[in-house]
Each structure stands twice: as C-alpha cells, then as structure tokens.
Amino acid sequence: MIQTNRASHQNPWLWFGPLLFMIVVGAYFVFRYQGHWAETDSAVFTRVIRDVSQAGRLIPTEEGSLVYPNGYSFQAISAFIVAITGLEVRALQQLVYPILSALVILPAWILYREVTGSGRGAVIATILLFMQPEFLFVILRSSHEKFTRILMFLCLFFLVRSFRLTHRPGLFATMIALFYLATYAFIASNSLLAHSFLFAIASTLGFVALLNRFSSFKLQQSHITARLAYVLIISIVLNYLFMFYLYPPVQHQFGVFTDTWSRLAALLFDVQADSVNPYTYVGGAWINLWVYFLVSIANWIILGASFMIWAVQGWRWLRYGRPPQGLTRQFIWLLYAAFALQGGLSIIVDLSGSLASNIQHRIFPSFSILAVAIVASALADWRPQRHQRLVQWSSAAVISIVVCLSVLKATVEPAVGNKWMFYQPEEIIALTWSENHLQQTQLWIEYDERLSVAWATSIDRSVQQNRMRVGVTEPTLPIRSFLLTDITRLRSSRLEQPLPIPYDAQRVYDNGSAELYRLRPRTPFQK
Amino acid sequence: MLSKFLFPLIMLGFLIATSLAETRIVLASQETACIVQQRTHSTLTALCQPGWFSATDRIQIVGSGVMQYGENPGDVLQRAKSIPNTTVLFDTGNDQHIELAISFSLVENYLAAAIFDDQNGDRKVAYQIEGEQVQILEPGPTMTIYGHDGWLEDQDLFNWNLDIEIDGQVSSTMLDEIYMDRIALDSTIHTRIYVRDNNRNGLPEIEWRKSRPNVPSSWNVIRTTVIVNTEDDEFPLEPGRPWYLISPERWQLTKNYGTSKPPLIVDWAEARIELLNEFVASRTNPGNFFVYTFHPLEEGVVSKSNWEDPFAFYNFSGINDEESRTYPNVLIRIAHFHQGEFSDDINDHLPTSVQQIDYTWRFTPVTASAPIWDYRLSIAGRVSITETYPLGPFTTNTIPFSKLPAWVMQQPWDYTTFVAREGPGIQNTEGIGAIWTILESARPTGTQFLTGRIDEFTSGHFDEIPVGWRGEFGMLGGVIPELCVSLIDQRVHLLQAEFGLWAVDDGYTISYYRDPNSSCINRWQVIGDQSKKEQLFHIENHLVYSTSDQIFVKQLVPGTNTITFLPPHNIASWQEARASAPTPSQSENCVTRGSTSDDQSLLPCTLKSMFDLADGRLISAMYAKMSNYRADQAGRASFTLEITPGSHHRGLEVMGISKIDPSGSYRITFQDGIFKAQKITPPNPSVTLSTTELTQYEAGAMTLHLHNDGLTDLPAATIEIWGTPESGSAMLVMTRTLALLSQQSQDLLLSWTPPMAGDWTLMPILRSSGNEVWELPSTRVSVQPTEASDPLTLLKASSTAAMLGFTLVGLLGLTILAVFAFASQWSRRGLEQCDDPD
C-alpha cells in the first residue's frame, strides 16, 4: 500500500456525508407517518423502558412488569435519557431514536476504514450497508439493535485494529482492553447476538485449523489464531458471568425452548422463539412476490456479489497462495465464511423441522456487515478500465433506485406492503375510550398486531384487564367487542379478508374514523 | 368396728379408681411404659415396652432437666404441663439410631418443642452430645411447636393454644403435593399454624394455617386454611405416643367422624415427619366449617377469600341424639372466584364473580362409617360478595356460618343441576362428589357460558350419569331452585327442570323432560334400549305410555297439586322436605324391568311400572307407533300416531279416530282434555329469502321466512343457501340445521359476508333427514364493492398531503446523498491510498 493522501484523510465529509444521509433516512422514517408508527420489538422495548424507569431497577419485580431477558443496556440507556431530558418514552421511541440511529454510521465508518484501508472505502461500504433494507429496518426501529450494532462494530474495530498494533504494546493493550469492554457491553445489550458473534469467532478458528491443511493457506501472522482463541475464551467467561451472576433473566430465555436442540440453536444462531414462520411470512407481507424481490434487491445484490468476490478470493488464496491483501481482509474473509455458515445452518435447521417450529433467524444483518466489507474492499480497489462514464452513470442510477426501494422496505411502505406499521391518532383515541369503558373484555382490533403495538407504545398496558385480540376471526372463545377503523377496512380490502363483525352488532362508539361494536347479547349472561 | 367402715372404704376406693380411670380416658387410655435403665445428672435412658413403633423402643433424654423425669418418662411426655428443658431422642427398635429428636425449652414465655428429623436420607437423625447439650447435626428444626402456658391446661385437659412453624417437607395443607418438591428446609418458614381454645376447656374451637410456598402468585394453591367448630364440641384427643401430639397410627390430614387423633404423623421407618393433620375437624362434625382459599389472608387486613369459602356442615334434624351430634345432614359448599381473578376456563380475567354452590342433604340414616347422601343441588351464580365479616383473626368476605343457609336462599341464582341417589350411593364426608357439578364437572364451558363468553351451554358434560344416579338441569333466572315431586314416577325433581337423565341400571337409562306449560317433569323416554322405544307422557290428567308398536292411555284420578318445597335450610324446612320427599330407592328395592311387585312401598323405576302404578283407568290401547311429540306454552300437545292395520284396537274414539278404517298415520292433538285426530299430509315447505344492503367483505343480514304447510314435521331438516356470482360457479354460502314443524312458520336471521362484489343468485335448498330435497325459488341480490386499497388511498390514509410532499422531498434528498457519496468516492481518480501499512 502507498502512503495516504492527507487531504482525503482529513476530509470530514467522508464521514459526515454518510451521517447526513442516515439522518435524512431517519427523518424520513419518522415523518413518513408523522411519528405515528409502531412495531412489535419497539413496543416491547417501550414497555420495558417504562417498567425500568418506574421501578428504578434493571430487573423490575413489580407484578406485571416486563423484563427483557437478553440484556439490559438499551433500557438502561433509554431510562437515563428519559430521566435527564424528561422526554416521554413514546416520543423517545417514535421520534428521537430513528433519527439517532444515524450514530451507527460512525463506528461502521471507522470499522470499514480499517477494513478497506481508506476513507473512500469506508464511505462506499457505509453507503452499501445502509442500503441493506434488513439492516436498515433493525437500526431504524427503536430496539436494542442500534446500540448492539454500534458495539458489534466497535468490537470488530478494536479487534482488527489490534492485529496491527503488536509492535506498539501500549496501544495494543489499550485496544485489547477496549475490545473486552465493548464485548461486555455487547453481551449486556443482547446476549443472543453476542453468542452468534462468539460462534462466528469460534467458526473462524475452526476454518483456520481446517484450511491450514492447504499449504497455500497461510494466515499472514499466526499470532492471530492465538489471539482469537483468547478472545473466545475470555468472552465465554464474560458471557458466563453475565448469564449466571449479573443478569439471570437471560437464563429464562432458554427455558422457552423445550428441547436441547432448540436451546443449542438459540445459543448459537441468534434465534428467538417467534410465532411467525419467516418463510411463509414473505409471501404474505407484500402485495406480490415480485415486489418483495424488488424492495429487497439490495440484499440479493450484496449477497450475490459478496459471495462471488469471496469465492474468487478464496480460490486465489487456496489455489495459488494469493490471499486477500492485508491481515484485516484475510480475517474478514474468514469471518464472512463463519457468518455464512451460521446463516446456512439456521436455514437448514429451520426447513428440516428438527427443531421446534417457529424459530426465526436474524443472521442476515450480521452477515451483511461482513458482506459489505468484502464488496466495498473490492470496489475500493477496482475501477472499470473502459466505459467509465457509462458505468458511473449506470451505477448511480442503480444506487438511486436501490436506495429508494430499500427505504420503502425499511419503512414498510403500505402502498407495496401488506404489513402496515402506521396508525391514526383516532384509533388510539378509540382504544383509550375502550380502556376507560370496558373491563375484563377481549377486544378484536385487527388482523395483526398493528394496533396492539401502537397502544403499547402510546399508552402502555390495560389496567382494566382488557385484552386485545388480533388475527383470529373464529376463535374458540368468541370475542364480543370489535374495533373497526378506516384503516381496518382498507386492510380487509388489501388482504381480501372478511370483517369479523356480524351485521347486527351494536355500534357503541364512533369518532368518525374508528368504531366500536358489541355483539348483541344472546343469553342472560351477556351484555 | 373395722367391718363397719370396710364397705364405705371399698366404695370410696372404687369411686376414686373410676374417676382416675375417667381422667385417664381424657389423657391416655394406653400407657407408654418406659422404664429408666440408666440415669446421670444430665442423661437418662429408658426402654419402652411395648414401644410406640416396635416391641422395644428407646428414649434418651439429655439436659439439665433430666432429674425432673420420674421413673416413667413416658408419663412426662404424655401428660406433663411443662416438659423440662431437655432434648428427647427417640430410637425405634433400640438399634442406637435416633429417628426423631425433640428439643423442649422455654422461648419467650412459650414452651417450645423443636422437632428434628432425618434430612440427608440415611433414616436417622445425626447428633452429638456435649455435656448437657445435644447438638443435632441435621438441618432443622423441621417443625417447632409453641405452647402458650404449657402443654396441658391442667392435669386433665390439653392446652390447645398452639403456634406451629414448619420449615421442611411436611404435608400440612390440602393439595400441597402440588408444590412440595419446591419446599426445602432452608430456615424459611413456609407454613404457620395457629390453634386456639379460647375458653380453655381442652377442646380447640379454631385453627388456621398460613401456607406461603415459594411458587408464582398465579398458582392456585391453598394459602390459607381456616377451620372452625362453632359449637365447641370437638371430640377429646385420643392418646398419642410417645409424645401426646404424635399419633400411634397413620391417618390423612382430615379427621374422621367421632374421633380426634393426635395430629403429628411420623414415618418412623424413614425417620421423617410426614404430616401435621387437623386439630379441628374440617368436615366431620355438624356445626363445623372450613375455608380453603388461594388468596393469602393476613391478620389486621381486610382480605378477599376465594375457592371453598366456606364449606359448612349442618344437622337440621332437630333431634339431639348421637347420630345428629356426630353426622351432618346438610352440607353447603361455596366455591367462588371474584371478578378480575384469572380463570383458566375462559383464559382471561373473570368479568364477574362466579360461584358454584353445592347444596347436599340426606334423609337416609347413617349405617356405616360415613353418611350416604341423597340429594344435591349444584347451583351456578354471579353474586358479588362485597360485605366483609370476621373469620377468626381475619376479616374476609366469607358468609358467616349461621347466616349461610338463609343467604343461599335469598340470592339470584342462574342455573343448576340436581342429582338424586337411586342406588347404594357413596359414603363420603363431602357429599355426592363430582357428579354433575354445574361448573367444575362442566369445565370449561360452564364458566364460559356463565360469564357470557359463549352463547350456548354445549352438552357433553351432562349426557351421561353413573348407574344409580339421576341428574337434572334447569335454568333459574334469578331465583332459588325449588323441588317438586312427580306423582307419576314418585321422585323428587327440580322444579322447572329442562331435562334429566336417570341411569337405572346397565342398559336401561331414562331421559326425561318438561313441557313448557308444566312446572315439574312430565315426559320420560327410555334411551338405553332402542328396540322397545318406551315413552311416557303425563298430559293434564292423562297418562300415555307407548312402546315401539303399542300405545296405552290412562285417565288419571284427579289428584293433588304438585308438591313443591325448598331445599332444607333450617329445622322446619328439613322436616318439611323429609315429609314431602319419598325415601330414595336403592337398586335392590327398585322394580327393574321385567319384574313386578305388589309391594306398594317400592318406588317404580321403569316406565311400565310407573304407568301401571298410576292411579286411573285405562281408556285406550292400540297397536300403533307414536312419534314427534311436542307441546307448547298454551298446553297443547301433539304427536304422530301410525296405526297398525288389521290389529285389534281399543278406545279409538278417545283419540278421535274413526273405527271404520283406522289404519294410516294421524296427527293427534290434545288440549283441554280432548284428543283430536287429523290424517297426516306430507311436509310442504316454502321459503322466502331477503337481504339487507350487502357490501363485499362485510357481514350482511339474510332473512329466511320458512313455513311448513303439511301435517308432517321436519324435525331435523337442513337448509342450504347456494350462491352463484355473476362470473363464477355456485358455492355453498351457508347451511343450518333446523326443525320445521308442521303448520308452523319460523324466521331465520343469518349473517353472510360476500367474498366478491357484483350480482349474485341465491338459491335455498331444504333437505330432510330422510334425504328428501326441496329446491326453492332463488333470489337475485347485488353486492357493493369494498373501498379499494390502492396506493393513492393508502398514501392519503397514512399521511397528510403536506407531509407527503415533505417525505417525497426527503426520499429524493437521501437518494441524492447516497448517489453522490457513493459515486464521488468510487470514481476518484487514481488508486485509493491506505492509511498505515499492514
């Protein structure tokens, strides 16, 4: 590598540009629905933050409190922000956090700068990464992932940076200390994601051991292997302390899974029990399958391109002894394989049904971090020799289209998607009226959780022991109260599903956009 | 001279001896003869023969109080007011292994007995004697008993003012096996028991147990037990060995009738304390009641109690004999849950309080170890109990014992079952058991129906009953259930019962019903033997009995009004009920089918015998098949009669049938004492269909007006509506089973959600159970389309116009930023330069 260009090195737009891009994305996410958006994980965390704030404890013990079992960082940080700013939790979740997600750009940028070796490469990688709709969505929504990913980037940065600092003991020690600090923070933010990361490290070690049989394979510096082994062991110890001493609720997460294989999968593949089968979910979540492919095209491009580049690099390395340039890139190459292995295994296990059903994998965002690194490194080094303008204009057009499509997916645009996350204020008003006038009542609110998460985000939980029911239109215990809104009618039309309200139901509330219906009593015990 | 006084002296000695003997009955009728073998100033060893567990058992006593034990330490353990500060080690079999250790001491003015048992599974209690002290090497104590002012009141009477703490796995609460595996001996007291004898007459009046196992609060475990003897007549304690509270025989938690055994059960073979049973009888004493509540009651706090709250035992015979003093004859059990409590049956919080009242009584005398119960009402209700009352040291919503029967009689109940014994019955301390309990044996639909979660009380729970029992179901509509006596079957029934079932014996079951204009059961049908198709109808003053091919009609002697009475809730009503109700049958007394008896004291239990024994004259006997009986509110009954041709009939004119050519099928109606016959005509159904305004995906109303002009019922017909859209094939829109009776109309209001917009043709098809089909005229309807969910509509719904513009600008902006950032960096001239060499 030749010496840096000082001007480009000092250009603040190299990081500010992507930051600004992400701020605008965050603002778009908020203003698209005027702040009236809600989704499941965000609603869960809204409740968790409220409970932690009210109890003043990381693990609230009050009856009915919700404890997030996988970590405490997000709710602790959020409770701190709420306490010092006086912000409502709802406002923090719906308005502030999506814009704050732009902060993820910064550690991502410095990691990619380290990996690609240049600020240019960092910009390219960052833009590519934040065009991935799967990644974008989990960052924008108000869950732990924005902090967890920040910590993951920092862990990777400190790790790969330390590879190059063995000759400078002071900095080396600092990087190691910071790495373990970030690792603990990572574990404390989400232990499942941390497990997945550790499994990837372990897999990397495994690959090194496997590939060492090839004479052409030489990891540039063998101390890396020892270093990774230390990382694994110490991180496992940290994880053990966290699980069994510092934050015991983590153990309950594994109690959900009733058999050993499920628990092993949960431990290794960053899975969680979920009621949605992701493979059937895809077809129903968009107006048609082609739309799904279009809005997620960025994922497919990165997936395909990264695999091709990785395969070529691997072929060159193993066949000809020409590894990717630099220790960092070699490590990234191995780590890519490790995450790809996790993803492949989780898909196989899901499809085989050997585990309990309803396990959802979340490997792709982690995988995309490495995939983008592979692609950006290649792009940073490569430039077309001919038709440069044509390629530039074409790539600009592709980027523009893909960015739009990815943002549409990340914001779950209702024009093209069937899974809506927006709501109208009148719907919350109707739900509030229901809460004030009903007791121990089950209320049908829609075909999915759209309004229940909106309620959980806006108001919290029912104190009248009312329960919101979603989806089922012919439950074993018939529901007697129904909320019907203008949006519900549109969803009925979009999903081609009948409205579950009989013709003779009594309308007891109407605010112009939302109506509450009650079934007529048919026995002396109904009202 | 001496002889003068000899006889009086002898008499005096006799009197003294007998009084001592009586005293000994109070304390112990069996001596524990433990003879001291060895004694020092701090240790004493005694052999007990016979022992309390084996032929020879050993007691070792250590402590500074050893000198206060006499030559028979058993006496001290069984009848001393105060046991000296010592530790008593119990060795069964004299094998030098200690199976139990009790450390007696004085703790803050209480006499304390700390009891240690084996905790490590080696079947002995490890210990070490150091001078005058015994150090128990097992964790513990497992149980500590504190006696206020000593173990005895005086020489004759035990002191029943005790406080007890339990730490280990000792069963002391009903159903505690649910959580016993979670109990550990960990210095955390999980159960506290308090026994009180407030008037200090040597008989406890009340005990309460506070169980606080470490289980989730959502678990339904009994957290507080309260048992009260309102008449202060507990049976005196029988002797315990080797300590007065330790029972020489094993018994299980609840006392039996007429006895009070020591409550502490020790498994000597395992060296473990197994049970701490009742001090006050929960079930086996009239005048007693208990409360088992899932809620934890606390002193000084108004608490809600639930579940068995209370279960009370009465004797309303009004007779003061030994049986009446020992055995209750009326039981009232209230199982209730409050509004807001979580119910597994509805998988939700209860929208209203719910109760099941099990009201049981008997007239049958007790001839065995436990009573046999005759009748039980199991009543469902939704009474909100908001008043609070004192319950021992607590304040709860438990209805007081003295007020409970009257309270039950005054509440607005919803529906009930009634069960009567028709066989040998069950000996039980709690009544008839789980047969046809209105909510508990009908889970989950009972509670679902009562709380309005479902529209129908689906059958299945009351479709069968064990042999030797009768069961009935009735809606109450806010009144107390009353009982009636049928003059036909001579049985007690539920007034206004909807239906009943009686399993006479294997293969012979009678179902019975009540016509709308009748208050008591008036129709019986055998369902166990289909070949005979026996039916019996009591219509006004006529009795009709039919089999598969014959029908008999009897005109009854004008009788008395139906006898009705309330469930016995005091002495007067109990005696009235007893006088009104026939003695329940037992199977060996029942006239089973095929046999007859002239004994008038036997109750009939076949339809034939009921018909034969009814007081009246036979007015008609025909060879005919009877079917499709029904009656209406106006008292008009009707049925179909199919006369067998060529047979000899008697009394045709009674039915209004011509003698000249009687063969054929007739519809017979009966009203105001007169039968009328009409020749049968086939069913002639018609349907008119109309709808409200219909919109795609929204439910609309479809009204069917049906009429059957023929004289033949269609009791189990199916109506199908087939819909054909403008462009599409016919599809079944809905189907419904209904009874379309002859000469009657009915309107069906149905809900239909059209799946697509446009014009539809709806055609009704009626099918009978015999597969006859009527295709009825079709109707054309128009379905409006639903509001379209096109992108523009959604954009308007999800945002405002101004914000849409802003967001579009934002989308454009971020696109430009992304393109610019990517393109500018990727297209830079020259190869990118690295920061630091790798």
For B489-522, how does the pLDDT look when each residue is reduced to its tens digit (9 = 90+)? Answer: 989 999 999 999 999 888 889 999 999 989 999 9
Same domain, A307 and A384: yes
Same domain, A373 and A434: no
Same domain, A358 and A219: yes
CB < 8 Å to A399, chain B: 818-819, 822-823
**Gap between the Cα atoms of B391 and A509, Å rounded:** 45
Mutation pick from B794, B803, B808 vs chain A, by most beta carbons of A within 10 Å, is B794
State whether ipTM is beyond 0.90.
no
- Among A379, A399, A414, the residue with its CB nearest the CB of B794 is A414
Greater confidence (B281 vs B805) lies with: B281
Above 80 in pLDDT, residue B153?
Answer: no
Would you state the pLDDT for residue B819?
87
B477 near A CB under 8 A: yes
Q: Is B261 within 8 Å of B272 (Cβ atoms)?
A: no
- The answer to whether residue A37 is domain-embedded is no
Same domain, A263 and A348: yes
**Dihedral (Cα; B651, B654, B659, B663), 10-degree rounding:** -90
Within B413-482, strands assigned E span 415-421, 469-475
- The answer to whether residue A461 is domain-embedded is yes
Considering just the CA atoms, what is the radius of gyration of chain B in Å? 39
**Gap between the Cα atoms of B228 and B283, Å rounded:** 10
- DSSP-derived letter for residue A162 is H
Same domain, A511 and A381: no
Strand bridging mode B744-752 / B779-784: unpaired
Confidence of residue B4 (pLDDT cuts 50, 70, 90): low
B114-131 pLDDT, tens digit per residue, is: 999 999 999 999 999 998
Would you state the pLDDT for residue B22?
34
Q: Is A105 within 8 Å of A16 (Cβ atoms)?
A: no
Above 50 in pLDDT, residue A1?
Answer: no
Report the percentage of chain B scoring pLDDT > 70: 91
Would you state the pLDDT for residue A358?
38
Above 50 in pLDDT, residue B268?
Answer: yes
B476 near A CB under 8 A: no
Same domain, A385 and A434: no
Burial grade of B652 (CB within 10 A; 0-12, 13-18, 19 or more): middle
Question: Which positions ≥6 away from B420 have C-beta within 8 Å?
Answer: B374, B375, B469, B470, B471, B491, B492, B584
Same domain, A335 and A432: no
If one counts every other C-beta atom within 10 angstroms of the C-beta of residue B425, the result is: 18
What are the tokens at B245? 């509270």
- The answer to whether residue B407 is domain-embedded is no
Same domain, A378 and A444: no
Measuring CA to CA, which residue among A54, A75, A78 is closest to residue A64? A54
Identify the domain containing residue B764 by its residue range: 685-784
**Gap between the Cα atoms of A462 and A436, Å rounded:** 9
- The answer to whether residue B2 is domain-embedded is no
> Are the beta carbons of A21 and B814 separated by less than 8 Å?
yes
Q: Which amino acid type is present at position B165?
A: E
Would you state the pLDDT for residue B373?
95
Tell me the nearest-neighbour CA distance from B226 into chain A, angstroms: 27
How far, in whole angstroms, is CA A144 from its chain's centroid? 8
- The answer to whether residue B700 is domain-embedded is yes
Q: Give whole-number Cα distances, A501 to A504, A509, A516, in Å.
A: 8, 14, 10
Would you state the pLDDT for residue B25?
24
Q: Please tell me which residue of chain B has the smallest CA distance to A160.
A: B838
Least confident range from A301-305, A367-371, B656-660: namely: B656-660
Which helix (H) or strand (E) segment is B525 a member of? strand B523-526
Would you state the pLDDT for residue B639?
92
Above 60 in pLDDT, residue A277?
Answer: no
B611-622 pLDDT, tens digit per residue, is: 998 989 999 999
Would you state the pLDDT for residue B8?
61
Q: Please tell me which residue of chain A has the smallest CA distance to B798.
A: A33
Give rounded-to-5 percent helix, strand, coil for chain A: 65, 5, 30
Provide the b/e sequence for A244-280 (b: ≥16 CB within 10 Å).
eeebebbeebeeebeeeebbebbbbbbbbeeeeeeee
Q: Is B489 within 8 Å of B562 (Cβ atoms)?
A: no
Q: Please tell me which residue of chain A has the smallest CA distance to B345.
A: A477
| Three-state SS annotation for B593-653 | CCCCCCCCCCCECCHHHHHHHCCEEEEEEEEEEEEEEEECCCCCEEEEEEECCCCCCECHH
Provide the b/e sequence for B627-647 (b: ≥16 CB within 10 Å).
ebbbbeeeeebbbbbbbeeee
Burial grade of A220 (CB within 10 A; 0-12, 13-18, 19 or more): middle
CB < 8 Å to A504, chain B: 701, 749, 751
B406 near A CB under 8 A: no
B448 near A CB under 8 A: yes
Backbone angles phi, psi at B728, to 5 degrees: 165, 175
Above 50 in pLDDT, residue B20?
Answer: no
Report the percentage of chain A scoring pLDDT > 70: 87
- The answer to whether residue B761 is domain-embedded is yes
Least confident range from A3-17, A140-154, B652-666, B703-717: namely: A3-17
Same domain, A310 and A163: yes
B833 near A CB under 8 A: yes
B212-234 pLDDT, tens digit per residue, is: 998 988 899 999 999 999 999 99
Which helix (H) or strand (E) segment is A380 a member of? helix A363-381
**Gap between the Cα atoms of A188 and A183, Å rounded:** 8
- Among B794, B810, B823, the residue with its CB nearest the CB of A31 is B810
Segment B377-385 shows an average pLDDT of 95
Average pLDDT over all residues of chain A:
86
CB < 8 Å to A127, chain B: 818, 821-822
B198-201, long-range: CB < 8 A, 24+ apart: B199/B232, B200/B153, B200/B157, B200/B159, B200/B161, B201/B157, B201/B232
**Gap between the Cα atoms of B796 and B281, Å rounded:** 73
**Cis status of the peptide bond prior to A248, with omega within 30 of 0:** no
- The answer to whether residue A468 is domain-embedded is yes
Above 90 in pLDDT, residue B31?
Answer: no
B727-750 pLDDT, tens digit per residue, is: 889 999 999 999 999 988 999 998
Segment B813-821 shows an average pLDDT of 88
- The answer to whether residue B506 is domain-embedded is no
> Are the beta carbons of A28 and B810 separated by less than 8 Å?
yes
A29-69 pLDDT, tens digit per residue, is: 999 999 999 999 999 999 999 999 999 999 998 878 889 99
Task: Residue B778: give its domain's CATH number.
Answer: 2.60.40.10
Above 50 in pLDDT, residue B43?
Answer: yes
Q: Is A434 within 8 Å of A481 (Cβ atoms)?
A: yes
Above 70 in pLDDT, residue A422?
Answer: yes
Sign, CA dihedral A172-A174-A175-A180, equals positive
Would you state the pLDDT for residue B790?
85
Residue with tokens 């203008």: A486
**Gap between the Cα atoms of B805 and B796, Å rounded:** 11
> Are the beta carbons of A522 and B455 separated by less than 8 Å?
yes
If one counts every other C-beta atom within 10 angstroms of the C-beta of residue A527, the result is: 10
Tell me the nearest-neighbour CA distance from A394 into chain B, angstroms: 10
A202-245 pLDDT, tens digit per residue, is: 999 988 888 877 766 665 556 788 889 999 999 999 999 999 99
- Among A1, A25, A399, the residue with its CB nearest the CB of B819 is A399
> Are the beta carbons of A404 and B815 separated by less than 8 Å?
yes
**Gap between the Cα atoms of B822 and A9, Å rounded:** 17
- The answer to whether residue A263 is domain-embedded is yes
Tell me the nearest-neighbour CA distance from A111 into chain B, angstroms: 13
B539-550 pLDDT, tens digit per residue, is: 988 999 999 889
B452 near A CB under 8 A: yes
- Among A3, A442, A494, the residue with its CB nearest the CB of B789 is A494
If one counts every other C-beta atom within 10 angstroms of the C-beta of residue A162, the result is: 22
- The answer to whether residue B118 is domain-embedded is no
Q: Is B378 within 8 Å of B419 (Cβ atoms)?
A: yes
Mutation pick from A24, A110, A302, A423 vs chain B, by most beta carbons of B within 10 Å, is A24
- The answer for B 341-380 residues in CB contact with A (under 8 A) is 346-351
- The answer to whether residue B131 is domain-embedded is no
A512 HSE (CA, 13 A, CB side): 4
- Among A113, A490, A503, the residue with its CB nearest the CB of B789 is A490
Segment A410-432 shows an average pLDDT of 93
Above 70 in pLDDT, residue B837?
Answer: no
Same domain, A139 and A285: yes
Greater confidence (B529 vs B367) lies with: B367
Burial grade of B704 (CB within 10 A; 0-12, 13-18, 19 or more): buried
Greater confidence (A387 vs B704) lies with: B704
Q: Is B208 within 8 Å of B175 (Cβ atoms)?
A: no
Greater confidence (A84 vs B20) lies with: A84
B647 near A CB under 8 A: no
- The answer to whether residue A129 is domain-embedded is yes
- Among B698, B807, B819, the residue with its CB nearest the CB of A28 is B807
- The answer to whether residue A349 is domain-embedded is yes
Same domain, A432 and A406: no
Question: Which positions ≥6 away from A352 have C-beta within 8 Å?
Answer: none
Would you state the pLDDT for residue A218?
63
- The answer to whether residue B239 is domain-embedded is no
Tell me the nearest-neighbour CA distance from B416 into chain A, angstroms: 14
Tell me the nearest-neighbour CA distance from A516 into chain B, angstroms: 15
Domain end among A410, A434, A463? A410
Q: Is B257 within 8 Å of B238 (Cβ atoms)?
A: no
3-state class of B315 per DSSP?
Answer: coil
> Are the beta carbons of A523 and B449 separated by less than 8 Å?
yes
Same domain, A131 and A273: yes
What domain count does chain B have?
1
B448-497 pLDDT, tens digit per residue, is: 999 999 888 866 889 999 999 999 999 999 999 999 999 899 899 999 99
Would you state the pLDDT for residue B581?
83
Tell me the nearest-neighbour CA distance from A304 into chain B, angstroms: 19
Confidence of residue B11 (pLDDT cuts 50, 70, 90): low
Would you state the pLDDT for residue A4?
45
Segment A387-411 shows an average pLDDT of 88
**Cis status of the peptide bond prior to B242, with omega within 30 of 0:** yes
Tell me the nearest-neighbour CA distance from B406 into chain A, angstroms: 25
Domain end among A383, A410, A437? A410
- The answer to whether residue A353 is domain-embedded is yes
Least confident range from A459-463, B41-45, B442-446, B749-753: namely: A459-463
Above 80 in pLDDT, residue B50?
Answer: yes
Above 50 in pLDDT, residue B18?
Answer: no
Greater confidence (A284 vs B757) lies with: B757
Identify the domain containing residue A497 by its residue range: 425-518
Above 60 in pLDDT, residue A356?
Answer: no
Above 80 in pLDDT, residue B328?
Answer: yes
> Are the beta carbons of A118 and B821 separated by less than 8 Å?
no
**Gap between the Cα atoms of A57 and A249, Å rounded:** 13
CB < 8 Å to B477, chain A: 524
What domain count does chain A have?
2
Q: Please tell me which residue of chain B has the smallest CA distance to A400.
A: B815
CB < 8 Å to B813, chain A: 24
Domain end among A380, A410, A440? A410
3-state class of B395 per DSSP?
Answer: strand
> Are the beta carbons of A440 and B348 separated by less than 8 Å?
yes
Mutation pick from A405, A525, A526, A527 vs chain B, by most beta carbons of B within 10 Å, is A525
Above 60 in pLDDT, residue A273?
Answer: no
Average pLDDT over all residues of chain B:
88
Above 80 in pLDDT, residue B709?
Answer: yes
Burial grade of A390 (CB within 10 A; 0-12, 13-18, 19 or more): exposed
CB < 8 Å to A327, chain B: 838
Above 70 in pLDDT, residue A286?
Answer: yes
Confidence of residue B825 (pLDDT cuts 50, 70, 90): confident
